[in-house]
Structure 1
Amino acid sequence: MNKMNKMKKVFQIAFFLLMAVSVHAQDKKAKALLDEVTAKVKSYDNISIDFKYSLNNAKENVNQDSKGSVVMKGNMYVLNFMGVTKIFDGKKTYTIIPEDEEITISKYSEKDDNTITPSRLLTFFNSGYKYAMDILQNVKGRKIQYIKLTPIASKDQRKEILLGIDSQTKHIYNLIEVGKNGTKTTLTVNSFKTNQPLSKNQFTFTESKYPNYYINKLD
């Protein structure tokens, strides 16, 4: 999995964590808990998360760990992962790759299924899963309640997703995604901060900061 694909994948997972999931009722307790998480997240003006991302496949002898961070306010965000920065200002997405001195700029379109935004992910995860309460685990004194999401579509390459929620704070602790090929990806929230003082230019792309970069405008 190359750097951009990994970033795209973790970005999807990161916003799944941020926005929780509002899914159709199959397990009342699970739905009630997810609704609490969603309400808690929506009550904040902004959210800042530091996370750890792990990819493991024993069969292929693959073990990779990476760290990242994301800041979100409304549908705007700044994601830093694997040396790449992704900014969405509500209209355009800016992908900045210092290693290649390249910036890709693309417009957001609600009709584009490949566009990744919080609202798109809410719609994406809104259906297509069976879900139920899973184990309650004690992690360093914190009670983490897991909800198991099982994809309905047989062609989905994911076997299941385990979403860990802190029972006290109603914040997401981690997400474990298990693939049918044995690959397991885990995203763990190391730091969850809310309503932080942000710069007025927090979600603004400033081209003058990158004088020697090649800028690729897709639209």
Structure 2
Amino acid sequence: MIKMNKLVSFVILLLVTFTTNAQDKKAKELLDQVTAKIKSYNNITIDFKYTLNNYKENINKESKGNVIIQDNKYVLNFMGVTKMYDGKKSYTIVPEDEEVTISSLNEKDDNSITPSKMLTFFNSGYKYSWDILQDVKGRKIQYIKLVPNNAKDQRKEVLLGIDSQTKNIYNVIEMGKNGTKTTLTVNSFKTNQPLSKNQFTFVASKYPNYYINKLD
């Protein structure tokens, strides 16, 4: 009887391992499809909603923003601040302070976070697994659970919601170890839009009374 129980337990373990590996493979395949789709676009324009919640601390904030991305260049408008990157320099424009901060940005630095990287952040540094499928207003959103490999990461896990039909990102939910939950939801996702030649060019004359702070 003991040998039989051990055999049954072993078979169950094999089945669980096989199922988990199959689901992880499905997750990797879907993430690869998302990456390929992102790279196929000439440019991307996103309108998004960002929420931050921590029930223990009674924090509940919501903001909206938009970003235009082409290759590694971008213009991001969020919380009253415009951040622009022209491929060499980063420009942070703060109308409230009438200040522009200009600095260099090393795109090859793994620690530098940019909107373009945010669309493919899941390709390294995480363990991934197949998660739930949700119906959102008729859209099938498949979630992939990402767990950071770095134990010092303050995020417990990240849920990446992917539109099953378009293979575009619908939302990103981050669960912090301190109970904070942040959600970025894509309200509008447009691709290959006609852009101005100066879309990613900083024009100082537009900010005549601003203090220009050059960090390097």
Q: TM-score, normalised by structure 2?
A: 0.85
Alpha-carbon distance in structure 2 between the residues aligned to 1:172 and 1:123 = 10
Deviations 1:162-210 (A, max 9, x none): 0000000111000000001100000000000001111110000000000
Give 1:94's aligned residue. 91
Q: Any residues of structure 2 matched to 1:1-219 within 5 Å, and which?
A: 27-110=24-107, 114-117=111-114, 125-219=122-216
Listed as ranges, the gaps of 5+ residues in structure 1 are 1-24
The letter for the 2-side match of 1:129 is: Y
Give the SS at the match of 2:51: strand
Alpha-carbon distance in structure 1 between the residues aligned to 2:121 and 2:183 = 20
Give the SS at the match of 1:52: strand
The letter for the 2-side match of 1:138 is: D
CA contact (8 A) 1:144 1:167 kept: yes
Two-structure CA RMSD over aligned residues (Å): 2.0
Q: Percent identity?
A: 79
CA pair 119-107 structure 1, distance change in 2 beyond 3 A: same
Listed as ranges, the gaps of 5+ residues in structure 2 are 1-21
Q: TM-score, normalised by structure 1?
A: 0.84
Deviations 1:134-166 (A, max 9, x none): 000001100000000011222211010000000
CA pair 35-174 structure 1, distance change in 2 beyond 3 A: same
The letter for the 2-side match of 1:128 is: G
CA pair 112-39 structure 1, distance change in 2 beyond 3 A: closer
CA shift, 1:129, in A, is: 1.3
Alpha-carbon distance in structure 2 between the residues aligned to 1:132 and 1:113 = 23
Alpha-carbon distance in structure 1 between the residues aligned to 2:23 and 2:152 = 21
Give the structure with higher Rg (CA).
2
